[in-house]
Amino acid sequence: MDGYIYWLSLILALYTQVVASQVRNKLKNFVTVTNAYTQTDILLKELHDKTPEECATVCLSLESCKSFEFSKGDRSCSLRDDIAGLKLKVDKTKNYYQRIFPGILVNVLGASMPKYNNLGRVNNVNLTGCIKSCYKNLKCQSMEFKEENRKCDLSSASHLNSTLEQSKHGWSYYQIDRAMITTTLSTTEKTTTKITSTIAKVLNTTTKVTTKTKHPITKSTTATTTRVSSFDGVIGCYKDSEDRAMPSKVWENQAMTAKICRVVCGKWGYKYAGLEDSIYCYCANNYSKHGVLDKSKCYSKCPGKPSDICGGRYALSVYFSVLFVKKQDYIGCFHDKAMSRVMTSRIWMSENLTIKNCQNKCGKWNYKYAGLQHGSLCFCGNSYDKYGAAAEDLCYSSCPGNKEDFCGGYLTNSVYKAGKISKETDYLGCFIDTKLARTLVSKPWTTSNMTIEKCRKVCGKWKNVFAGVQGGRYCNCGNSYDKNSEVGGDKCFYGCPGNKEEFCGGLSAISLYLSSE
């Protein structure tokens, strides 16, 4: 009997250790900022008498949970559907935890990592250049960027081996998903740079929206002219205070311009746009509550366009908004999930994404709908509403190819009907392809400058019916394939090194085409 109790207690102890280890591992999904908290209003849940690991477990179980703060004294945590942005505050009794989503650039504004730039500093670059510099260095896991003097520090450190603290000198922390790169992209630096530079363009994660009430969105579907005067929409400089002159909606962007603010306010259905303290955009239907100011009080330059004036300290540069005109083929703003995409048929990334070129891609690939997300992603598919409609103001990312268009938001798609152009009838789909079970069993061929057309021509020359590109730079040819092994088009997302707007298969996935002459 004593032996039975001994073995039972041993098994229970081992089980407890395994469970405890699994709970501890939950914190690997969060970036930690010590002695800090956030002042955002979007609270999901309060937990009491918990450890940070237990709070992390609950947060990960809620799709909408993006961060939490832990109070060290009473062991409570506040789970939030929001990230801190520039609202991190110092408090030695609390720690801030920000959730990491696969494939999404991590950014913690106003935070830095002690003893940082072990991979050197890059000077005189913008944020895009800073992130690209990190992607090019295969040892780089994270970077810190200082907008004021355009400095970029690179590091091999990440949230797994260090914590952050609030920056006293204006730095912000960014972390790339190197795990995603090493498992999904070609191992050559040249290919990695080409593909990941498009991923790095997902910079609208630095954009922050806060709202307390729902607001009307214009329903117009007809062409409407912009509300402007002879001075390009400028109304004047107006006083603000803690009792806001424009209280309806506020939005912040590290690359703010007058035009972006005016377009955003127009999209949200407001008459006026007010810019303050360089990065803040206020939207409302009135603005003169506290009176007019001399124009010299509006002196702050807009970071995205220094020739624009973005208010001052408690001073609003007020403009007429730009009416948001819904495009004829616009369907709406819809929710998406990072781990289970709504539109899985095909994905395309572009540094110059516009509504039109996404529509054209999806139309060419013979899909009904085009979904734009996060300012650089274009999804194609025959359905779009699995997770339901989202509020229009959640699709706020401007399109890099046309700043007056909106290309979705954080896990939200701006959905349009696909373009009515000639179909790509030679594309057969994305299929499973492994070393043990090749889709096409005939001749393989590889080149560091692979494109779809090169592969199709080679297979045609070799008298094969089908051509498949896999792993970014491998071309396989054959005369038969298993139609039952087709998978979602999102599995074929390796960029083709010879044409970065094409996709050459994926990890254990092959993009299949008819060969060409």
Domain boundaries, the chain: 23-99, 107-180, 234-320, 330-417, 427-514
Contact of 440 with 481, CB cutoff 8 Å: yes
Q: Which pLDDT tens digit goes with each residue over 122-137? A: 988 877 778 878 878 8
* pLDDT band per the 50, 70, 90 thresholds, residue 196: very low
* Torsional sign, CA 368, 374, 375, 377: negative
**Fold matches, 23-99 and 107-180:** yes
Q: pLDDT at position 130, please?
A: 85
In terms of CATH architecture, what is 107-180? 3-Layer(bba) Sandwich (3.50)
The DSSP secondary-structure symbol of 419 reads: P
Average pLDDT of the chain is: 77
Residue 202, pLDDT above cutoff 50: no
Instruction: Identify the DSSP state of 285.
Output: S
Question: Residues 97, 145: contact at Cβ < 8 Å?
Answer: no
516 to 422, 498, 509: CA distances (angstroms): 18, 18, 21
Instruction: Provide mean pLDDT across the span 76-105.
Output: 79
Q: What is the pLDDT of residue 472?
A: 84
CATH number of 23-99: 3.50.4.10
Residue 53's pLDDT band (boundaries 50, 70, 90)? very high
Is residue 513 within 8 Å of 427, Cβ to Cβ? yes
Cα dihedral value 435, 437, 438, 439, nearest 10: -150
Sheet containing 346-349, strands listed edge to edge, beginning at the edge strand earlier in sequence: 330-335, 412-417, 369-373, 377-381, 346-349
The CB density around residue 151, as the number of other CB atoms within 10 Å, is 18
pLDDT at 39: 63
User: What was the pLDDT predicted at 215?
Assistant: 33
Q: What is the pLDDT of residue 458?
A: 93
The reported pLDDT for the residue numbered 201 is 34
* C-alpha–C-alpha distance, residues 432 and 439, integer Å: 7
513, 452 contact by CB (below 8 A): yes
pTM above 0.85, yes or no: no
Residues 6 or more apart whose CB falls under 8 angstroms from that of 209 comprise: 251, 393, 394, 396
Q: For 232-243, what is each residue's pLDDT tens digit?
A: 578 899 999 989
Alpha-carbon torsion 33, 410, 129, 187, what sign?
positive
Q: What is the DSSP string of 307-374?
A: EEE--BTTEEEEEEPPPP---TTEEEEEE--SSS-S--SEEEE-TT--HHHHHHHHHHTT-SEEEEET
Yes or no: say if 322 and 293 are a contact pair by the CB < 8 Å rule. no
- CA 453 to CA 459: how far, in whole Å? 10
Q: What whole-number distance in Å separates Cα of residue 464 and Cα of residue 456?
A: 9
Dihedral sign, Cα of residue 30, residue 33, residue 35, residue 41: negative
